[in-house]
Amino acid sequence: DSGVTQTPKHLITATGQRVTLRCSPRSGDLSVYWYQQSLDQGLQFLIQYYNGEERAKGNILERFSAQQFPDLHSELNLSSLELGDSALYFCASSVVRDLHTEAFFGQGTRLTVV
């Protein structure tokens, strides 16, 4: 158990809908990262939050947004869903200490858009 909790584990929804994925980082970790893993794109970095503030953006679509709350949990909002958004969405957290800082991953949320 990595200590990072993601809910829900599975989500099936229709095209055009909006969903929210939730992540609770490890206790004490201020940094939260969101990744998308799809068959054709591999593991793509989406966005990073640090202590409530957006720190870095990767390949995140405009239809997607995220936030990190004062209690450090984070949510990833996906809207106007398309079939191609079907993927495994990971949240990871880390302590920003030094270069040797592995990211601990949650179990992922498997999103299926039908």
Q: Quick one: CA dihedral 50, 56, 62, 63, positive or negative?
A: negative
What's the min distance (Å) between Cβ of 7 and other proteins? 15
Judged by CB under 8 A, which stretch of 15-23, 35-43, 65-73, 75-83 contacts other proteins? 35-43
Segment 61 to 90, residues that bind other proteins, using CB under 8 A? 88, 90
Beta bridge partners of 100: none
- Residue of 76, 93, 94, 111 that binds other proteins (CB under 8 A): 94
